[in-house]
Amino acid sequence: MVFGAPFFSVSEDSRGIRMSAYYETNKKRWNELVGIHAESKEYDIEGFLAGKNSLHHVELDILGDVSGKSLLHLQCHFGMDTISWSRLGAKATGVDFSDTAIELAREIAKKAGTDTKFIQSNVYDLRDNLDGKFDIVFTSIGVLCWLHDIEEWGRIIAHYLKLGGTFLLVESHPMMWVFDDESEEIRVKYKYWHTKEPLTWEQDGTYADEKAKVTNKKSYEWQHTVSDIINSLIKAGLIIEEIGEYPQLPWQYVQKAEKQDEWYWRIPGDPLPQMWSVKAGKP
């Protein structure tokens, strides 16, 4: 698991072919993980269908009342958060690149009795698959590492946001990804800076079920710094309204973190921000 960067120049066509291969590999893995996650206690679909809301308090507190508002949820997995927004009164649409995830999302929405819409699309291809503008664009927890071009991501958000609309990102803090998740100490192992070539992982299991046996073990991820993310939104014409940093994270990334409650893990003494949020508007 090391960052790689080419020491030679490559054509845009060649790089595009590699990016397509990276995304296809990730898609195969996520298609396989859908079934594992659906059966896991982490997602608790049975409890969700009984009325449990899957959203975190940070997201709920920042966005407040969403009744009657149109909401676009990017990288929604199988849509439990999207459906949760529908239950709170939003006219919600979820997007994910996994066709298996979208199929399950539609099944869950039907069982939940919501009118939530779902679109199967890579974020970068979304303009070919979805029309319209939204009052809110939302994305949350464990999403940005799967995107290679953060500036294009910012432009896509601006494209779908109505004038006067709100964008909200809630995500693991970029600083967290420099640490060795296998060490009992908080030890730096990875680079903080973005590189064009991704970090490559080979792993069995998944965060929702570490003991699960997975056929598609390989995945590719990209690091994005705080400035990368904020500047992508500014360059796309959005106004940064609020930034939050939080000591908790919804999973145990470093081994020193301890379970705080049903939702969160915290590192004793809160030495680091594990999660952050960015709220932006379109003037």
pLDDT of 84-112, one tens digit each?
A: 999 999 999 999 999 999 999 999 999 99
Strand partners, 277: 170, 244
**Residues present in the chain in total:** 283
Q: In this predicted structure, what is the pLDDT of residue 204?
A: 86
Residue 165 has pLDDT above 80, yes or no: yes
As given in the structure block, the two tokens for residue 269 are 């003494």
| Helix (H), strand (E) at residue 8 | none
As given in the structure block, the two tokens for residue 128 are 């070919």
CA-based diameter of the chain, in Å? 55
pLDDT in tens, 224-271: 999 999 999 999 999 999 999 999 999 999 999 999 988 899 999 999
Give the confidence band of 13 by pLDDT, cuts at 50, 70, 90: low
Residue 10 has pLDDT above 50, yes or no: no
List Cα–Cα distances, 6 to 11, 197, 246, in angstroms. 12, 7, 35
Measured from the Cβ of residue 205, the count of other Cβ atoms closer than 10 Å reads 14
d(CA 33, CA 53): 22
Say how far residue 253 (Cα) sits from the centre of its chain.
15
Can you tell me the mean pLDDT for 46-73?
97
The answer to whether the CB of 231 falls within 8 A of the CB of 152 is: no
Q: In this predicted structure, what is the pLDDT of residue 75?
A: 98
Query: What end-to-end distance do the CA atoms of the chain give, in Å?
Result: 41
Residue 143 has pLDDT above 70, yes or no: yes
d(CA 44, CA 246): 25
Say how far residue 190 (Cα) sits from the centre of its chain.
20
DSSP string, 8-62: S---HHHHHHHHHHHHHHHHHHHHHHHHHHHTSTTT-HHHHHTT-----HHHHHH
Q: In this predicted structure, what is the pLDDT of residue 205?
A: 83
Among 45, 33, 47, residue whose Cα is nearest residue 107: 45
Q: What is the mean pLDDT of the chain?
A: 93
Measured from the Cβ of residue 244, the count of other Cβ atoms closer than 10 Å reads 14
> In order of start, what are the domains of the chain with their CATH numbers?
12-281 (3.40.50.150)
Q: In this predicted structure, what is the pLDDT of residue 5?
A: 31
**Amino acid present at 47:** G
Give the confidence band of 1 by pLDDT, cuts at 50, 70, 90: very low
As given in the structure block, the two tokens for residue 271 are 């030495």
pLDDT in tens, 177-187: 999 999 999 99
Q: How much of the chain, in percent, has pLDDT values that exceed 70?
A: 95
As given in the structure block, the two tokens for residue 220 are 């590719």
Half-sphere exposure of 163 (CA within 13 A, CB side): 1
Mode of pairing for the β-strands spanning 218-221 and 199-202: antiparallel
Give the confidence band of 203 by pLDDT, cuts at 50, 70, 90: confident
Half-sphere exposure of 136 (CA within 13 A, CB side): 28
Among 44, 26, 76, 224, residue whose Cα is nearest residue 144: 224
